[in-house]
């Protein structure tokens, strides 16, 4: 079977019809990751309470689990109990048939939280000790120092890495086909099942991913430039 | 006004402070001299709890705390009565000059923004930076950054300003501008505790000089007494070394 570029087009259309699934999976999990990962990083950095020690054990373990395993595990862990419950309860039966995108979202959010907490931890370490000391010397509390001075500076350091994190999540989201979620890749692949033009379908979905990632990279680059103009990373010493 | 008693501090096996007592009266300018490793900087950092001393007491105005048992609230109260000027300036990098001065006033002392802005403007004018309100730290020279840092400290109207080698990180030609700002701060009657290697500042401005070595005070007195007839041999050795070097460069530091 030879390669025929004309088959790319229908696959591309099929892929684009599920574009929103890929975007929701990657951007929602990124936002959750940022929202949960930042406090995790702060807590680990300051050894605030016993939770910091617990996170110090937990995060390195979770970091070693591939995304595809999260997807498979959550698929199992969420659906299996519902299967059992649905024999007795109607609501469980309803939940059992839910859109699997929710399972994908949970799995990807956990993975994103772990990833972004590490990004933010290294960004926090990039802010010099002197900035904290200056905050304390003018009478700010630890929280005020974090909120007013340290986190805004850490975000500057984190921005390029966070941009890479989003791109990893966009590409990583393609793995959700293993539980049958219809995202860009899965939809393109399915469209090829009638004519066996898989290579064209793969190229079509690759194009879609490439355009999304290039756009995100471009936006990130633009934001970085704007930030660099406003606030310089290292003032003076 | 401010006094510390019997401060002890150990880093690991290294005993850095071995029972230091200092009394500073209101409006007094006290300079602490000493070779590096003598514990001068650690002493300053203990006073506003950037380091936690192992032993000793601190009195500032009506506040009296024990270094080891100070609660978070007490530490905050002490820090809101003191201000510090750092060797490496430590301006807030995400804030411009005037925001740097306003931050402590607005966030820590809950002074309304408008009022804080006026105070900050006044203080920046006093250190000669009336054209740099909106400059970012990265756009300022070391000397200008340190002057902003001094304005930031003075704006808080603290009971005492702690200066931790404020000119040590500066290019030699920028030392003068910072010293002259410090002199004008001293003339305003602000209580200052200064760790420095600038002998001219100690000689001309200090009300009292304290010489420290190996974590303890060796001798203290009026600058002219310390500089012309030190009682202790260690003080004399230190001054001989420093002043000899100073002779060559004194003219460059003319203020």
Nearest Cβ partner for B93 among A137, A141, A231: A231
pLDDT at A237: 35
Which of A48, A133, A135, A139 would you mutate first to test chain B, the one with the most B CBs within 10 A?
A139
Residue A232 to residue B84, Cβ atoms within 8 A: no
Which of A46, A137, A153, A227 would you mutate first to test chain B, the one with the most B CBs within 10 A?
A137
pLDDT at A230: 56
Q: How far apart are CA B83 and CA B253, in angstroms?
A: 26
ipTM of the prediction = 0.91
Residues B3-29, mean pLDDT to the nearest whole number: 94
Residue B80 to residue A139, Cβ atoms within 8 A: yes
CA distances from B100 to B119, B128, B147 (A): 12, 16, 11
Q: What is the pLDDT along chain A (237 residues), one digit of tens a residue?
A: 678 888 889 899 999 999 999 999 999 999 999 999 999 999 988 876 788 888 989 999 999 999 999 999 999 999 988 888 888 888 888 888 888 999 999 999 999 999 999 999 999 999 999 999 999 999 999 999 999 999 999 999 999 999 999 999 999 999 999 999 999 999 999 999 888 889 999 999 999 999 999 999 999 998 888 876 655 544 433
Chain A contacts of B86, Cβ < 8 Å?
130, 133-134, 137
Strand order in the sheet with B2-11: B14-24, B2-11, B55-60, B63-66
Nearest to B95 by CA among A130, A8, A235: A235
What sign does the dihedral A93-A95-A101-A102 (CA atoms) show?
negative
Which of A48, A127, A138, A234 would you mutate first to test chain B, the one with the most B CBs within 10 A?
A138
pLDDT digits (tens, 9 = 90+) for B170-206: 998 999 999 999 999 999 999 999 999 888 899 989 9
Question: Residues A65-78, buried b or exposed e (16+ Cβ, 10 A)?
Answer: eebbebbbebbeeb
Residue B91 to residue A235, Cβ atoms within 8 A: yes
Chain A contacts of B164, Cβ < 8 Å?
none
Q: What is the pTM of this model?
A: 0.86
pLDDT digits (tens, 9 = 90+) for B121-159: 999 999 999 999 999 999 999 999 999 999 999 999 999
Nearest Cβ partner for B90 among A130, A139, A144: A130
Percent of chain B with pLDDT over 90: 85
DSSP conformational letter for B71: -
Q: How far apart are CA B18 and CA B8, in angstroms?
A: 5
Q: Does domain A22-180 have CATH number 1.10.3720.10?
A: yes
Instruction: State how far residue A147 is from chain B, nearest Cα, in angstroms.
Output: 11
Domain layout of chain A by residue ranges: 1-18+182-237, 22-180
Instruction: State how far residue B65 is from chain A, nearest Cα, in angstroms.
Output: 17
Measured in degrees and rounded to the nearest 5, phi and psi for residue A49 equal -140, -165
Name residues whose C-beta falls within 8 Å of residue B223's C-beta, 6 or more positions apart in sequence.
B31, B202, B203, B204, B206, B208, B209
Could you tell me whether strands B208-213 and B29-33 are parallel, antiparallel, or unpaired per DSSP bridges? Answer: parallel
Residue B249 reports pLDDT greater than 70: no
pLDDT at A235: 40
Residue B228 reports pLDDT greater than 50: yes
Confidence of residue B73 (pLDDT cuts 50, 70, 90): very high
Instruction: State how far residue B170 is from chain A, nearest Cα, in angstroms.
Output: 10
pLDDT at B106: 96
Chain B contacts of A152, Cβ < 8 Å?
94
Could you tell me whether strands B216-221 and B208-213 are parallel, antiparallel, or unpaired per DSSP bridges? Answer: antiparallel
Nearest to B30 by CA among B184, B220, B218, B180: B220
Residue B254 reports pLDDT greater than 90: no
Instruction: Tally A–B CB contacts below 8 A.
Output: 95
């Amino acid at each position: 079977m030879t390669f025929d570029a004309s088959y790319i087009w229908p696959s591309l259309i099929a892929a684009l019809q599920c574009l929103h699934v890929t975007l929701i999976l990657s951007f929602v999990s990124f936002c959750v990751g940022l929202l949960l990962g930042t406090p995790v990083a702060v807590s680990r950095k300051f050894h605030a309470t016993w939770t910091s020690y617990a996170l110090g054990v937990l995060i390195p373990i979770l970091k070693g689990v591939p995304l595809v395993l999260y997807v498979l595990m959550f698929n199992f862990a969420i659906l299996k109990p519902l299967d059992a419950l649905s024999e007795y309860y109607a609501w469980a039966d309803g939940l059992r048939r839910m859109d699997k995108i929710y399972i994908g979202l949970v799995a990807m959010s956990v993975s994103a939280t772990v990833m972004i907490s590490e990004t933010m931890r290294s960004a926090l370490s990039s802010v010099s000790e002197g900035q904290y000391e200056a905050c304390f010397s003018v009478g700010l509390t630890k929280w005020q120092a974090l909120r007013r001075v340290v986190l805004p500076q850490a975000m500057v350091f984190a921005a390029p890495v966070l941009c890479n994190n989003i791109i990893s999540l966009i590409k990583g989201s393609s793995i959700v086909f293993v539980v049958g979620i219809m995202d860009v890749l899965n939809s393109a692949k399915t469209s090829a099942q009638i004519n066996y033009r898989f290579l064209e379908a793969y190229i079509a979905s690759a194009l879609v991913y490439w355009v999304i990632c290039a756009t995100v990279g471009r936006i990130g680059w633009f934001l970085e430039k704007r930030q660099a103009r406003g606030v310089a990373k290292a003032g003076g010493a | 006004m401010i006094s510390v008693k019997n401060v002890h501090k150990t880093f690991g096996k290294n005993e850095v402070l071995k029972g230091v007592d200092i009394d500073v009266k209101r409006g007094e300018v006290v300079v602490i001299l000493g070779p590096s490793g003598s514990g001068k900087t650690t002493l300053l950092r203990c006073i506003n709890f950037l380091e936690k001393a192992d032993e000793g007491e601190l009195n500032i105005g009506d506040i009296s705390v024990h270094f080891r048992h100070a609660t978070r609230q007490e530490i905050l109260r002490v820090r809101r009565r003191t201000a510090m000027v750092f060797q490496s300036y430590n301006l807030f990098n995400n804030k411009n000059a005037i925001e740097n001065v306003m931050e402590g006033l607005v966030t820590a002392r809950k002074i309304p923004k408008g009022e804080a802005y006026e105070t900050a403007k006044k203080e920046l004018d006093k250190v000669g930076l009336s054209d740099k309100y909106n400059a970012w730290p990265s756009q300022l020279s070391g000397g200008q950054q340190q002057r902003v840092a001094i304005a930031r400290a003075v704006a808080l109207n603290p009971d005492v300003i702690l200066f931790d080698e404020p000119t040590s990180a500066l290019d030699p030609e920028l030392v003068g501008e910072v010293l002259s700002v410090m002199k004008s701060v001293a003339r305003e009657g602000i209580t200052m505790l200064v760790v420095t290697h600038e002998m001219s500042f100690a000689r001309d401005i200090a009300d009292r000089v304290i010489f420290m070595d190996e974590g303890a005070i060796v001798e203290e007195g009026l600058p002219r007494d310390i500089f012309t007839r030190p009682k202790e041999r260690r003080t004399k050795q230190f001054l001989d070394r420093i002043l000899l070097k100073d002779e060559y460069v004194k003219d460059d530091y003319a203020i």
